[in-house]
Amino acid sequence: MKHPSSATTAQAFVAYYRVSTERQGRSGLGLEAQRDKVAGQVASAGGQLVGEFTEVESGKRNDRPELAKALAAARSKGAVLIIAKLDRLARNARFLLSVVEGAGEAGLMFCDLPQLPPGPVGKFMVTMLAAVAELEAGMISQRTKAALDVARSRGVKLGNPQLRAGTPASAKRAAKVRTAQSKAKAADVLPYVKAARKAGATSLAQIGEALEARGVRTPRGGTTWAPAQVARILAREKVFA
């Protein structure tokens, strides 16, 4: 028979929510949805929510007073900082890493990445996700620059002063450029899609969530993958098989 004093204390959680004023009404993950996700995750972990902080600010800004309060509360209470979705915290890898460093020993938890354990191991895994996202962006930029340098060294003139905006010729050229960019992006994204499938993702929405969790950008540079965007990537899969 266990003595009452030896009972395991429920893990404490501090929640951080963020909404953008201009997008809150249209967002698929508004404030109430974030709260529901956090409450469900805390309940499934048998934990206790000991604090909540809400930021109304763009994800592009790094000065977040409510996040600073949430981090301080998590450290002082030995609580896990819990966030509904990775992109609710940051879209910038360096900023994400600064938050990881600022979290207490209990670490971070994202409801869309429930497999991340609390504590040092979870912090390490979040750091790796941020590093992969930053590495991918840097490699894509490097390949693009290298391709342009090779084209210039061969005497290729980038752009055509004879083409005027709005003409059929300019529209055709723009379409070719977009197609080439789409193919290149698909080639970069497909390895992540395959990894998501191996991990158990079957629907377009699940694959999209996996891409977001890895910090993979959409062809237009966005952070949220719609099912239709995933479908377009999959449509090119045979080309690179």
Task: Give the residue numbers marked as catalytic.
Answer: 20
**Two tokens, residue 209:** 């969530």
Q: In degrees rounded to 5, what are phi and psi of residue 158?
A: -80, 120
Residue 110 near residue 84, CB atoms below 8 Å: yes
Terminal alpha carbon distance of the chain:
60
Q: In degrees rounded to 5, what are phi and psi of residue 92?
A: -120, 120
Residue 53 near residue 73, CB atoms below 8 Å: yes
Q: How many CA atoms lie within 13 A of 160 on its CB side?
A: 12
Spatial distance between the Cα atoms of 193 and 209, rounded to a whole number of angstroms? 10
**Two tokens, residue 94:** 């360096």
